[in-house]
Amino acid sequence: MSENFLPFVRPSIGEDTIAGVADVLRSGWITSGPQVAAFEKELGEYVGRPMLTYCHATGALEESLRALGVGPGDEVIVPDMTFAATLNVVFRVGATPVLVDVDFATRNLDAAGVEAAITERTRAVMPVHYAGLAVDMDPLNELAAARGLRIVEDAAHAIGTTYKGRRIGSFGDVVSFSFHANKNLTTIEGGAVTTTDEEVFERLRQLRFHGQVKLDDGSYDVVMPANKYNMSDVSARIGRDQLAALDARNARRRELAHRYFEVLDGLEGVALPAKGDEGHAWHMFAVCIDYPHYGTDRKAVREAMQERGIGTGVHYPALHQLTVCREAGARAEQFPNADRIGRQTLTLPLFPDMQDSDVERVAEALKAVLHG
């Protein structure tokens, strides 16, 4: 691949972090230990309440549902526009996902759509802060409180996102973050979860490591069947440096996103995402393109961009477009906004080490491809 190839995402990992990981490897303690403890403490201070780390975000999300007692016979409302993990964890605990359409511009759920989908079997709602833009949580939290529902926020895109001046994770019921390699903060693979419910927090701690409870004599008891999702010290060491740089990197993401708006404004047949406010963490910049308007399709556009040395992504196919949901009876006409997003979405490069000139290069290439 050419040296000037611009991927749609690239993690920012410096030499200090690489040296720090080497120190952990030399220490002889590489699984959960002092680095994990320090990372959890620093995350908690950053977000504003205690955090539990997991070796991957899907496990944190799944165990959040399990810790709330969600299971067979229950329904969980999820947005039709999200990554498949949001759907899969509902299936994994034996519950039924109920898909709800999203707003076209924000790609997020709203309280009105959620309320229309509530049945006597609804147990929880899983809003997703798509691309780092916060869901309008106040009306959703009010609705959940009035209807006796739990909320598990899928904040995979939203570390550092703020809503009305409050960091996502500092309020609300249960909030789960992702630290995957393409996220604003990475531990290579990893995640974290927080909640104000002390019983749920303790259950999550037990579910993270075999359902164990430590006993006074140094042995342990197992109080529930559970999996193993603990984070390693190697990952935590990376995460600590990532957290220290997070706000500055998110600020740079906002600058790059604003430049995209400037250079792509008015491009016919291309719908830009909602701008949001300064609380938007800009995990990614995804546009929707009317491919037939240009006599082309997404595959051809992606290939042409690749030939010009620019990588793109697809985030995401709508859930109802997936076989597992189609076989369950989901139909496109039920989700007009998500269906359009799923068919038209194209993720453009966005990561903190990009230059403004990279954004301009992407815009020029996209215009050339579409008009070519």
Residues in Cβ contact with 349 at an 8 Å cutoff, skipping those fewer than 6 apart: 6, 7, 8, 9, 285, 310, 311, 312, 358, 362
Domain boundary, last residue among 239, 269, 303? 239
Residues in Cβ contact with 41 at an 8 Å cutoff, skipping those fewer than 6 apart: none
**Mean pLDDT, range 272-296, rounded to an integer:** 97
Same domain, residue pair 102 and 226: yes
**Mean pLDDT, range 281-307, rounded to an integer:** 98
Q: Considering the domain boundaries, does residue 10 fall inside one?
A: no
Same domain, residue pair 258 and 117: no
Same domain, residue pair 252 and 230: no
Tell me if 150 sits within 8 A of 17, measured CB to CB.
Answer: no
Q: Considering the domain boundaries, does residue 67 fall inside one?
A: yes
pLDDT one-digit tens code per residue, 13-54: 999 999 999 999 999 999 999 999 999 999 999 999 999 999
Helix (H) or strand (E) segment spanning residue 263: helix 233-264
Q: Considering the domain boundaries, does residue 201 fall inside one?
A: yes
For residue 146, give both structure tokens. 């009035």
Same domain, residue pair 171 and 250: no
Q: Considering the domain boundaries, does residue 148 fall inside one?
A: yes
Q: Considering the domain boundaries, does residue 146 fall inside one?
A: yes
The answer to whether the predicted template modeling score (pTM) of the entire model surpasses 0.85 is: yes
Same domain, residue pair 108 and 177: yes
Q: Considering the domain boundaries, does residue 6 fall inside one?
A: no
Same domain, residue pair 175 and 227: yes
Tell me if 360 sits within 8 A of 263, measured CB to CB.
Answer: yes
As beta bridge partners, residue 61 has: none
- CATH number for the domain spanning 310: value is 3.90.1150.10
Same domain, residue pair 125 and 254: no
Asked if residue 1 has pLDDT above 70, the reply is no
Q: Considering the domain boundaries, does residue 8 fall inside one?
A: no
Tell me, yes or no, if 183 is annotated catalytic: yes
Beta strands in the chain (DSSP E): 52-54, 75-79, 96-100, 122-125, 150-155, 162-163, 166-167, 174-178, 191-195, 212-214, 220-222, 270-271, 285-289, 345-348
Q: If we measure between CA atoms, which residue out of 92, 130, 290 comes closest to residue 207?
A: 92
Q: Which pairs from 258-263 meet CB under 8 Å and 24+ separation?
A: 259/356, 259/359, 259/360, 260/285, 260/348, 260/350, 260/359, 260/362, 260/363, 263/359, 263/360, 263/363
**Mean pLDDT, range 279-284, rounded to an integer:** 98
Mean residue pLDDT across the chain:
97
Residues in Cβ contact with 15 at an 8 Å cutoff, skipping those fewer than 6 apart: none
DSSP string, 48-76: TS--EEESSHHHHHHHHHHHTT--TT-EE
**Mean pLDDT, range 67-72, rounded to an integer:** 98
Domain boundary, last residue among 215, 239, 263? 239
Same domain, residue pair 150 and 217: yes
**Mean pLDDT, range 86-109, rounded to an integer:** 98
Q: Report the number of distinct structural domains present in the chain.
A: 2
Owner of token pair 């916060």: 134
Same domain, residue pair 78 and 166: yes
DSSP string, 333-346: GG-HHHHHHHHHEE
pLDDT one-digit tens code per residue, 223-234: 999 999 999 999
Q: Considering the domain boundaries, does residue 96 fall inside one?
A: yes
Paired sense of beta strands 220-222 and 75-79, if any: unpaired
Same domain, residue pair 203 and 317: no
Q: Which pairs from 351-354 meet CB under 8 Å and 24+ separation?
A: 351/7, 351/9, 351/10, 351/11, 351/12, 351/253, 352/12, 352/248, 352/249, 352/252, 352/253, 352/256, 353/10, 353/12, 354/6, 354/256
Residue span of the structural domain in which 313 resides:
246-371
Within 4-162, where are the H helices?
A: 15-27, 34-47, 57-67, 84-92, 111-117, 137-147
Read off the pLDDT band of 124 (50, 70, 90).
very high
Same domain, residue pair 171 and 34: yes
For residue 45, give both structure tokens. 């201070």
**What is residue 224's DSSP assignment?**
S
Asked if residue 3 has pLDDT above 90, the reply is no
Domain boundary, last residue among 177, 210, 239? 239
Same domain, residue pair 42 and 171: yes
- Output the pLDDT for position 222: 96
The single residue of 183, 214, 228, 275 carrying the catalytic annotation is: 183
- CATH number for the domain spanning 155: value is 3.40.640.10
